[in-house]
Amino acid sequence: MKNLNKSVNEDNETNECYDLRGMMATVAQLAKEMNVSRGLIYKLLNEPGGPAFVKLGSKVLIDRREWARFLESKTVRREAIEETSAA
């Protein structure tokens, strides 16, 4: 993982620390980036098969990679649209 920082302490033990900046997004950030309401983001998070999220107190954080996978699973290909309209 590219967002992994390693350090060695005085006992020569390796400590791994993940840099989550830019990797996680809030509901408000995703809503703004996608130009949709926060309500829609919450609805999608609670959908069966929806993206995993972390809840810290009242803050909800979504891993951007998980969000991208979820959107990919919802992507409708042109062939599917044409099949639907032909029926």
Q: Please state the domain count of the chain.
A: 1
Q: Would residue 8 count as lying in a domain?
A: no
What Rg value do the Cα atoms of the chain yield, rounded? 18
Give the CATH number for residue 29. 1.10.10
Q: Would residue 57 count as lying in a domain?
A: yes
Q: Would residue 4 count as lying in a domain?
A: no
Residue 35 and residue 69: Cα distance in Å, rounded? 19
- Which residues does the chain have with pLDDT short of 70? 1-21, 80-87
Question: What mean pLDDT, rounded, does the chain reach?
Answer: 81
What is the residue range of 65's domain?
Answer: 23-86
Residue 1's pLDDT is: 42
Q: Would residue 38 count as lying in a domain?
A: yes
Q: Would residue 48 count as lying in a domain?
A: yes
